[in-house]
Amino acid sequence: MAIVIGVPAETYPDERRVALTPKACDALKKLGATVLIQQGAGIAAGFADSLYEAKGARAAPRDEVFREAQILAMVRTLGANPGAGRADLPHFRPGQFVVGLGEPLTALREDADMAATGASLLALELIPRITRAQSMDVLSSMATISGYHAVLVGALALPKIFPMLMTAAGTLTAAKVFVLGVGVAGLQAITSARRLGAVVSAYDVRAAVKEQVESVGAKFVTLDVESAEGQGGYAKAMDEAYYRRQREQMTAVLHQQDVVIATAAVPGRKAPILITKEMVEGMTPGSVIVDIAAERGGNCALTRPGEVQVHNGVAIHGPVNLPSFHPNHASLMFGANIAALLKLVVKDGAFRLDLNDEIIRESLVTHENKVVQPRVCELLDQASQVPAGEEGVHS
């Protein structure tokens, strides 16, 4: 009997993505697996049940999906959906394999709760950045969507247009866009802003990205601070003295900008504050900040997740869950990443969890009723040593 891969509908508020699309079903069918999708799970992303059924999948009620599936593919597992996701805890079972986003380095309570179910949780955020895993890199896929959407937010909020135009009424100068943080989201923001006609510059704490910035037609802004490149190409956390020097030099740069798109984030950590209240006050009224690090606290001190704040005439946008604004393409990318990952655990229609595989070993959070991921175990151990009543003084 073929292994069953279940796809529940997402329950996180306003989440419109679906973990697997009809296109992904083709790849999974070749592995000898069948897909059981919750009725209507793909509709918000533009994928009707009939499209899945045309690819050999079957639509069923939610309880049947949980009951029948050996593997569950989700956009948001419990850690990334700690409110509504708790309703699913009784439905997980020992030996079941769950794959999706899970915020494993911060959702420690949820990690422990998942372990108690006996299910094996693989968190997509922990997939190592190695060549073999590039096709499974959900974070990069979703960051591409976020960078694109951030530019749209900025363009609509700015009281100017992006491109330079020659008109009978005179010349309209191009808007100036500054991208702060040049990972995948930042690079996509640069290219999208340039396509709209803006003059784009960018900065990143990792000096090595200068060539990437210039290769997509933007100017790299250089500050007199050391590089802060960490493992795997991510930025690493620095001390407050470093960020203070950085902010002092950044103030003059921000004063010249119409739109600032902030994307700087450190995995599993609160986003660094790179734009202070005083820096915002030095910007021109009517300018816009789009802080796509809002879900991790934001790069701007005035950012409020999911809200727009106006301070001294500067609009600070804190959009959240940006990929869900474009659920069709976001789901296509997410589904392709999941299908590539499942090739490691589905062989000839059977489920095989190879704990010697680096990708599985690094991203597996829970297994056999235990939390097994080393970094998560360390964080849980640290949390258990915090004296009662003092949890609030630790971050």
Q: Give residue 267's pLDDT.
A: 75
Q: Give residue 385's pLDDT.
A: 75
Each residue's pLDDT, cut to its tens digit, for the chain (395 residues) gives 689 999 999 999 999 999 999 999 999 999 999 999 999 999 999 999 999 999 999 999 999 999 999 999 999 999 999 999 999 999 999 999 999 999 999 999 999 999 999 999 999 999 999 999 999 999 999 999 999 999 999 999 999 999 999 988 889 999 999 999 999 999 999 999 999 999 999 999 888 899 999 999 999 998 876 554 545 545 555 666 777 777 778 898 999 999 999 999 887 789 989 999 999 999 999 999 999 999 999 999 999 999 999 999 999 999 999 999 999 999 999 999 999 999 999 988 889 899 999 999 999 999 999 999 999 999 999 988 755 555 443 32
Q: Give residue 392's pLDDT.
A: 40
Rounded CA-CA distance 187/193 in Å is 10
Q: Give residue 62's pLDDT.
A: 98
Say which DSSP state 78 is in: G
Spatial CB neighbours of 212, under 8 Å, sequence gap ≥ 6: 182, 187
Bridge-based pairing state of the strands 259-262 and 176-180? parallel
Spatial CB neighbours of 31, under 8 Å, sequence gap ≥ 6: 342, 343, 346, 347, 348, 349
Q: Give residue 391's pLDDT.
A: 46
Per-residue CA distances from 303 to 101, 122, 391 (Å): 24, 31, 24
Reported CATH class of domain 3-137+326-393: alpha beta
- Percent of the chain exceeding pLDDT 70 equals 93
Q: Give residue 394's pLDDT.
A: 34
Q: Which residue has the tokens 């191009």?
A: 174
Bridge partners (DSSP) of residue 200 are: 177
Rounded CA-CA distance 349/326 in Å is 33
For residue 195, which of 166, 230, 162 has the smallest C-alpha distance?
162
The full DSSP string for 173-189 is: PPPEEEEE--SHHHHHH
Bridge partners (DSSP) of residue 98 are: 72, 121
Q: Give residue 244's pLDDT.
A: 73
Assign 285 to helix, strand or coil. Answer: coil
Spatial CB neighbours of 53, under 8 Å, sequence gap ≥ 6: 59
Q: Give residue 99's pLDDT.
A: 98
Q: Give residue 266's pLDDT.
A: 80
Rounded CA-CA distance 223/247 in Å is 10
Q: Which residues are catalytic?
A: 129, 134, 137, 140, 234
Rounded CA-CA distance 183/261 in Å is 12
Query: Is residue 33 packed enough to be buried (19+ CB in 10 Å), middle (13-18) or exposed (0-12)?
Result: buried
φ, ψ of residue 177 to 5 degrees: the values are -115, 130
Bridge-based pairing state of the strands 364-367 and 346-347? unpaired
Q: Give residue 90's pLDDT.
A: 97
Per-residue CA distances from 47 to 69, 120, 256, 372 (Å): 21, 28, 44, 36
Residues of the chain with CATH 3.40.50.720: 3-137+326-393, 144-320
Rounded CA-CA distance 189/52 in Å is 33
Which numeric CATH code is attached to 144-320?
3.40.50.720
